[in-house]
């Protein structure tokens, strides 16, 4: 069940625990409008809001207790293989048909080791009343978030930052030490957040709180699952096909109506093809179409829907419809981001069609080398001889490239050529960077040479680590999955879909499929064309027009909007940020002017993270 969870451990100084529980419930009620309940004793308050998906009976409402009343569970997410796990629990007498009860029964039998048996996306908390121990767990791929704050007397956690802020126990202060990272990458990476002393539990990890002591444990690392490189083409394709089919099938378990996003791209089309041709199951498909034909992908989504005979729904929107939703999306944004409004608008439109669960193709590009950087990285590994040239020579080559072919790609290639090494710790941050270093230094009024992300990538692939043994393309996948995917795409998907109580499931991020893909040799994965291994694993399933089409995505007129109709949003955020102690006021206004006058290559994507930051700080009264 897709829900909201929140709680407080340590109630010293809290006079009204029930009032606190009620307020916490209200702060995350949008995540679970079907039911809400609380648990409170002398040490903890636990809150749950429910979006009913499996076993709609109120017996499955949470907080959920075991028969003896020792354990209390609040759970957000889905255990897709709960029926298989349930078969191993024959000694337990079940009273519901929910995955919630299976989770708790598994905990009773195996304790924390039950995590190795689960296939799903989840964030859950279990309170052991006998031992006075609290466990907070996050799924392997970091699909469901859990934020936390540890004060002197209280420990606070929740599915969203707004729940933590509601308690009044968490200072409303900006984590200014992470601003350079945010401006550079339009997000900050777990465990960091933009709230001072508030953290995100890392993917594949859990916290144990006992005697007011918090310890963190990592139970799963993607790179440690790769035993050896897979090099046999036939077996790799067969296994890829089987694992993805199984991943999709698991995610079709639901007691409510389920649909699939269908953009007409490779990933979403493939999922729909698997559902209809491999699994022979019905599916509702949803495509956002545009009145402005230059934005619309309707031709391709319609082609796929007709090929697989789905119950197809086209939701026609105009760019104006999107523009009108932007203030609402900013209001729903729980953590600042460089993206989000698209997800907000699409989720709202699908929810209005009566859908509670939707499948998404997120993860296909990251696993199967779908981005241009994958091939650029391989090319660089074969051209390390360039490092023997003096830096100024490589700089000249880069400048010539920019003159011949101006643009962001050429600029990033030029910067890459000037790097001291071509390792991922150096090249990946350049690839993902939004705002240039000189601008970040000006905006913050100080040098910002240290790059935490670069340091973490370096550590991940240090000699002798599991990461260092991966194929080169798998190294890129691992970084993509652990950085932009988790901390931008998945976070935006969660906060924007749950704003409308819509559950989004992501088959490509099934942990078994991820482990398999990381083990595939570069020779097999190297894309003869984008995601060729994935396509060849399902040969003939998709029409050639879809396989070889140009990538579109949402190409909306942001430049024009922010200079005209949405200029008030830009003005409001930039004026506010210039008044804070975190930014240099003159530099903020200089950046704004550069954007408005189309100078220095400052386009909308450079200023949008600042728009969302300013809006978020004002809404939540962040210092």
Tokens 């705002």 -> residue: 435
Can 517 be counted among the known catalytic residues?
no
Give CA separation, 80 vs 26, 86, 155, 523, in Å: 28, 11, 30, 33
Backbone angles phi, psi at 406, to 5 degrees: -60, 150
Q: How far apart are CA 228 and CA 189, in angstroms?
A: 29
Give the DSSP H/E element, type plus range, for residue 213. Answer: strand 213-218
Going edge to edge, which strands form the sheet with 147-150?
A: 35-40, 44-51, 2-9, 155-158, 147-150, 198-200
Cβ burial of 532 (10 Å; 0-12, 13-18, 19+) is: middle
User: Using an 8 Å Cβ cutoff, are 327 and 614 in contact?
Assistant: no
Give CA separation, 74 vs 2, 37, 148, 611, in Å: 11, 10, 15, 35
The structure tokens listed for 445 are 């009024």
Q: Which residues of 484-494 are buried (b: 16+ CB within 10 A; e: fewer)?
A: bbbbbbbbbbb
Backbone angles phi, psi at 120, to 5 degrees: 175, -175
Residues 215-222: contacts with CB under 8 Å, at least 24 apart: 219/112, 219/115, 219/116, 220/115, 220/140, 220/511, 221/466, 222/140, 222/478, 222/481, 222/482, 222/511, 222/514, 222/515, 222/518
CB neighbours of residue 405 within 10 Å: 10
Cis link prior to 63 (omega < 30° from 0)? Answer: yes
User: Using an 8 Å Cβ cutoff, are 310 and 339 in contact?
Assistant: no
Cβ burial of 171 (10 Å; 0-12, 13-18, 19+) is: middle
Q: How far apart are CA 550 and CA 535, in angstroms?
A: 15
Q: Which of 282, 343, 329 is nearest to 489 (CA)?
A: 343
Give the DSSP H/E element, type plus range, for residue 7. Answer: strand 2-9
User: Using an 8 Å Cβ cutoff, are 316 and 291 in contact?
Assistant: yes
Tokens 């949003």 -> residue: 569
Give CA separation, 159 vs 30, 50, 92, 202, 503, in Å: 12, 12, 30, 13, 14
Active-site hit among 3, 146, 170, 542: 3
Give CA angle at 86 (82, 90), nearest 5°. Answer: 175
The SS3 of residue 178 is helix
Q: How far apart are CA 364 and CA 342, in angstroms?
A: 19
The SS3 of residue 126 is strand
Annotated catalytic residues are 3
């Amino acid at each position: 069940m897709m829900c909201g969870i929140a709680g407080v451990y340590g109630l010293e100084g809290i006079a009204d625990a029930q009032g606190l529980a009620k307020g916490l419930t209200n702060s995350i009620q949008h995540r679970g409008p079907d039911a809400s309940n609380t648990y409170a004793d002398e040490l903890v308050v636990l809150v749950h809001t429910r979006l009913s998906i499996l076993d709609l009976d109120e017996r499955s409402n949470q907080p959920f207790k075991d028969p003896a009343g020792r354990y209390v569970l609040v759970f957000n997410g889905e255990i897709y293989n709960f029926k298989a796990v349930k078969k191993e629990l024959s000694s337990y007498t079940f009273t519901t048909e929910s995955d919630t009860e299976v989770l708790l029964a598994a905990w009773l039998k195996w304790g924390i080791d039950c995590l190795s048996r689960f296939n799903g996306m989840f964030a859950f908390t279990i309170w052991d009343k006998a031992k006075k121990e609290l466990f907070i767990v996050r799924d392997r791929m970091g699909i469901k978030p859990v934020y936390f704050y540890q004060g002197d007397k209280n420990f606070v956690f929740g599915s969203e930052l707004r729940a933590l802020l509601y308690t009044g126990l968490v200072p409303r202060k900006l984590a200014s030490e992470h601003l350079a990272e945010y401006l550079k990458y339009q997000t900050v990476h777990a465990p960091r957040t933009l709230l001072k002393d508030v953290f995100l539990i890392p993917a594949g990890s859990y916290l144990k709180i006992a005697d007011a002591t918090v310890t963190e444990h990592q139970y799963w690392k993607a790179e440690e699952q790769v035993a050896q490189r897979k090099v046999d083409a036939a077996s790799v394709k067969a296994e890829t096909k089987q694992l993805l089919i199984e991943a999709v099938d698991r995610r079709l378990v639901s007691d409510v109506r389920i649909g699939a996003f269908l953009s007409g791209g490779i990933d979403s089309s493939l999922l729909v093809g698997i559902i209809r041709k491999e699994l022979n199951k019905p599916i509702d498909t949803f495509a956002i179409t545009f009145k402005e034909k230059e934005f619309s992908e309707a031709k391709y989504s319609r082609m796929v829907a007709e090929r697989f005979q789905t119950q197809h729904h086209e939701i026609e929107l105009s760019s104006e419809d999107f523009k009108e939703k932007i203030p609402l999306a900013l209001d729903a944004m729980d953590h600042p981001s460089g993206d989000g409004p698209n997800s907000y608008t699409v989720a709202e439109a699908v929810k209005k069609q009566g859908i509670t669960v939707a499948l998404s193709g997120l993860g296909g590009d990251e696993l199967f080398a779908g981005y241009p950087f994958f091939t650029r990285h391989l090319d660089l590994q074969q051209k390390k001889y360039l490092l023997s040239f003096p830096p100024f020579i490589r700089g000249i080559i880069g400048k010539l490239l920019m003159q011949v072919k101006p643009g962001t790609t050429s600029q990033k290639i030029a910067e890459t050529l000037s790097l001291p090494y071509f390792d991922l710790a150096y090249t990946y941050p350049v690839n993902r960077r939004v705002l240039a270093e000189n601008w970040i230094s000006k905006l913050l009024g100080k040098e910002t040479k240290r790059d935490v992300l670069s340091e973490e990538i370096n550590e991940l692939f240090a000699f002798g680590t599991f990461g260092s043994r991966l194929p080169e393309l798998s190294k890129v996948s691992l970084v993509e999955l652990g950085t932009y995917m988790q901390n931008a795409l998945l976070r935006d998907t969660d906060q924007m879909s749950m704003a409308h109580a819509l559950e989004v499931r992501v088959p490509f991020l099934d942990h078994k499929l991820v482990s398999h893909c990381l083990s595939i040799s570069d020779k097999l994965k190297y894309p003869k064309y984008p995601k060729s291994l994935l396509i060849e694993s399902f040969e003939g399933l998709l029409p050639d027009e879809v396989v070889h089409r140009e990538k579109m995505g949402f190409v909306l007129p942001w430049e024009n909007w922010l200079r005209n109709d949405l200029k008030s949003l830009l003005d409001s955020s930039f004026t506010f940020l210039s008044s804070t102690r975190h930014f240099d006021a003159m530099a903020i206004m200089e950046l704004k002017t550069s954007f408005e006058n189309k100078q220095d290559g400052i386009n909308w994507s450079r200023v949008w993270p600042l728009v969302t930051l300013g809006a978020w700080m004002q809404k939540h009264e962040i210092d």
